[in-house]
Amino acid sequence: MNAFSGFGPAIAAGRSGHGAVSMAVASGRVQLVTVRQRTLTMARWRVLWIAVGFAFIALMALVRIAYLGASDHGSRATSFADALLPPRGEIVDRNGVPLARAFPAYALWFNPKALGEDGAPLVKSPEDVASRLKAIFPDLDEKKVAAQLASGKQGYIRRRVLPEEANRVQEIGELALEMPTENDRHYPQGSMAAHVLGYVAADGKGRVGMEQVLDDKLSNPATRGTPVPLSIDVRVQGALEDELARGMKLNQAQGAAGIVLDVDTGEVLALASLPEFDPNKIDARGQSLMFNRVTNQVYELGSTFKPLTVAAAIDAGTIRNLGKRYDASPVKVGRFSIKDSHAMGATLNPIETLIHSSNTVSARIADELGPERMRRTMIDLGMNERPYIELPAKGFPLWPGKDWARLTNMTVGFGHGIAVTPLHLASAYAAMVNGGIWRPATLKKLGPGEAPKGRRVFKQSTSSRMRQLLRAISVYGTGRNANAPGYRVGGKTGSAEKPGAGGYKRSAIVSTFAAAFPMDRPRYVVIAMLDEPKGTVASSFQRTAAWNAAPIVGRLVPRIGPLIGVRPDDTRDVDISDIKPLIPEAASE
Amino acid sequence: MVTGSRIRQIGWAVVLGCCFAMLLALTFKVNAVKSDVRLTERKIIAAQQERLMLETEFQTRASQHQLSDWNAVEFGYGAPRADQYLESETQLAALGTPRGIDAPSPVRVALNRPEREEDEDNGLLSGWIAASQPVLDAQTGVSARRELAATGLAQRLSNPVSPIAKVAEVTQ
């Protein structure tokens, strides 16, 4: 710039040396110089403006750098704890094995408007894209997806996509295939304990099981960080479902139900209702199977009530002598007649009554006890209200009402005329063997000392006597198929005809085995129930519980015993030597 | 005086400027560390999510149904029987052969544990062979030699030649 400015006057001075040149030429020169100077000035200004512009941009950049460096921006976007908080709380079993967990996952969504409103939604042909998707997801229905892509309607192609699969879908290079992040509720054990857990519907709310009960706790940000432990033990639950399913198949039953209950705390270790649904995939079939047979369906549970009748009679003092013989001939009350399934002898003592499962003697024992005391015992055992458990679906028993007629009392004595859920029966058996305390069943894990106080139904002495009697049934009576060696199982069979239109259906029965083990110090009650079993080769063409439900318990107990702290031991058993002389089968040994 | 005050003013300005520059540098540093922390947190979150995912996948693949199916097809393991359990040392000892009333006192044998090199030289069974030979003279100059009574429970358990070895396997 200085070179220019110095050069201009020098030229002007050089030219002015020729004084003789005409004025016109001189004035032209002056004009030229003025133009040149003006141009130069303008050029200087322009350069200056550009420099100012650059300086301004540099300043802005510096300010921005200082701002970025000095301000702690973005830290409030997501806090660390928030990011690690699951979208919905985890449900675990009593040993911490996850039963339900939620995590952010991807879905595969077809958005035909991704490439703009008009024009084809896909770059490649729908068939080509479908075949590429098929290569990633081998179980995909290629034709269906191709039709969906060709139709141009938006919708899910897949609800769950793994991250590596998502990457491979990206490689197809179709913008219309979107992968929105969604919260995925996953049940790692599949259909196991489905009726206990329930599922989460599309609206994000829990349904059916504990998902519904614990919904607030599982979705509240303050509490969902800690997993909720249930009383369920996955291993026991697995074994129970396994054995029930096997029994159900072998006997061609419509359904099966089972429960394993801790007699001292009321905790439910396993609860199964078959056939079950898969909470990971709720479809129409799943919806139809959500009915819980353990807590919602009421059954006349038949002979499994007989030990309760005998216990009530011993407790009330109407049975003081177990050697007392009762008439076993059919009982006539009004126009009704109570009969046994087969002749068991002219007279029976209470022990033989249970071993052979006699209706007539049970009815006579109940009659001797009287309707009021029988009713009181049933109320104390909670048979007149819905079962105590957290699950939302609880069946109301068919309860004979306030004033029991003589016949009502007698039929309840052998488990008819009253319909309860299998869970009612489990809680009642727990009270009968644990020393006489009834406690509500729970699906929440209880810590030491958290067990509810419960209420006394039977005397301690009655409970000890009942342990002997139940053990005698499974050693000498109908429960022999449940007598797993070393586990001291005691229990009672029950096979009741199902009520249908116009009386009881001969063809449809409910067979139940209610058991407790080990009888020398009962820890767990096990109930296994089959709905409408058929006589098959597996059950020697018998339909009664001794042949189908009892073997389920006999196979289940050895599987679960060592896992839940009951070791098989041939050297221990409840002492039944004092009642042995009253049992003909034992006397002949 | 004037120059002195001027210098002092410039000095203060320089000190102020330095302080400001240091403050700025410090703030930059702090924020750099903070953003590093955030980056690490993000990595931790990603790792946690991946862990959760893998854990769930493992659990799904190793679900109870799956395991029991495998067991039914492949392994056939059954529940343990009552006779596979031992409650106490007394029960364990009861499995051994009891000594008769007039039985002679147990034969005391010496165990000669060979050195490791000898072991390699003579083969694996050399130690056992040496141990099973009764050594009458306890004063021979072998260093690693000790006596044991064949009826001692602990020794019998530790000595695989003894018939109790089977019992020890059962209790494991």
- Confidence at residue B118, expressed as pLDDT on a 0 to 100 scale: 45
Nearest CA in chain B to A567: B82
Cβ of B52 under 8 Å from any chain A Cβ? yes
Does A303 participate in catalysis according to the annotation? Answer: yes
* Alpha-carbon distance A38 to nearest alpha carbon in chain B (angstroms): 43
Mean pLDDT score of chain B: 71
Beta strands in A42-92 (DSSP E): 91-92
- For A240-252, b where at least 16 C-beta lie within 10 A, e where not — what string? bbbbbbbbbebbe
pLDDT for A218-237, tens place per residue?
988 888 889 999 999 999 99
Is residue B24 predicted with pLDDT exceeding 50? yes
- Confidence at residue A90, expressed as pLDDT on a 0 to 100 scale: 92
Which run of H or of E encompasses A101?
Answer: strand A98-110
Positive or negative: CA dihedral B87, B93, B96, B99: negative
Positive or negative: CA dihedral A293, A295, A298, A299: positive
pLDDT for B58-101, tens place per residue?
888 888 888 888 998 989 888 888 888 887 888 787 777 767 77
The count of CB pairs under 8 A between chains A and B is 90
Cβ of A180 under 8 Å from any chain B Cβ? no
Helix/strand/coil (H/E/C) assignment for every residue in A120-183: CCCCCCHHHHHHHHHHHCCCCCHHHHHHHHHHCCCEEEEEEECHHHHHHHHHHCCCCEECCEEE
CA distances for A579 relative to A318, A349, A354, A572, angstroms: 18, 11, 13, 17
Whether residue A446 contacts residue A229, with contact meaning beta carbons closer than 8 Å, is answered with: no
Whether residue A270 contacts residue A256, with contact meaning beta carbons closer than 8 Å, is answered with: no
- Confidence at residue A194, expressed as pLDDT on a 0 to 100 scale: 93
Cβ of B9 under 8 Å from any chain A Cβ? no
- Confidence at residue A386, expressed as pLDDT on a 0 to 100 scale: 93
Q: Which of B27, B45, B50 sits opposite A70 (nearest CB)?
A: B27
Hey, are the CB atoms on B31 and A103 less than 8 Å from each other?
no
- Confidence at residue A368, expressed as pLDDT on a 0 to 100 scale: 92
Nearest CA in chain A to B60: A188
**Rounded Cα gap, residues A106 and A181, in angstroms:** 5
C-alpha torsion angle, residues A388, A389, A391, A397 (rounded to 10): -30
Cβ of A486 under 8 Å from any chain B Cβ? yes
**Rounded Cα gap, residues A147 and A127, in angstroms:** 8
Hey, are the CB atoms on B24 and A69 less than 8 Å from each other?
yes
Hey, are the CB atoms on A162 and B56 less than 8 Å from each other?
no
Which run of H or of E encompasses A336?
Answer: strand A336-338
Q: Which residue would you say has higher pLDDT here, A379 or B113?
A: A379
Whether residue B87 contacts residue A569, with contact meaning beta carbons closer than 8 Å, is answered with: yes
Q: Which of residues 208-237 of A touch B (CB under 8 A)?
A: 234-235, 237
- Confidence at residue A76, expressed as pLDDT on a 0 to 100 scale: 56
pLDDT for A52-70, tens place per residue?
999 999 999 999 888 877 7
Partners of A338 in the beta sheet? A331
Active-site option among A231, A303, A357, A495: A303
| C-alpha A184, offset from chain centre | 15
Token pair listed for B128: 């056992």
Q: Which residue would you say has higher pLDDT here, B1 or A570?
A: A570
Cβ of B116 under 8 Å from any chain A Cβ? no
- Confidence at residue A545, expressed as pLDDT on a 0 to 100 scale: 84
Query: Which residues in chain A come in under a pLDDT of 70?
Result: 1-25, 72-78, 501-502, 589
Hey, are the CB atoms on A561 and B59 less than 8 Å from each other?
no
Q: What is the CA radius of gyration of chain B?
A: 39
| C-alpha A278, offset from chain centre | 9
* Alpha-carbon distance A239 to nearest alpha carbon in chain B (angstroms): 8
Q: Which residue would you say has higher pLDDT here, A112 or B1?
A: A112
Counting residues of chain B whose pLDDT is more than 90, the rounded percentage is 10
Cβ of B140 under 8 Å from any chain A Cβ? no
* Alpha-carbon distance A495 to nearest alpha carbon in chain B (angstroms): 29
**Rounded Cα gap, residues A302 and A300, in angstroms:** 6
Q: Which residue would you say has higher pLDDT here, A78 or B28?
A: B28
Whether residue A391 contacts residue A411, with contact meaning beta carbons closer than 8 Å, is answered with: no
CA distances for A60 relative to A63, A66, A157, A502, angstroms: 5, 10, 49, 93
Hey, are the CB atoms on B56 and A103 less than 8 Å from each other?
yes
Phi, psi of A29 (to 5 degrees): -65, -45
Is residue B170 helix, strand or coil?
Answer: helix
Phi, psi of A364 (to 5 degrees): -70, -40
pLDDT for A318-346, tens place per residue?
999 999 999 999 999 888 888 888 888 88
**Rounded Cα gap, residues A423 and A301, in angstroms:** 11
- Confidence at residue A267, expressed as pLDDT on a 0 to 100 scale: 95
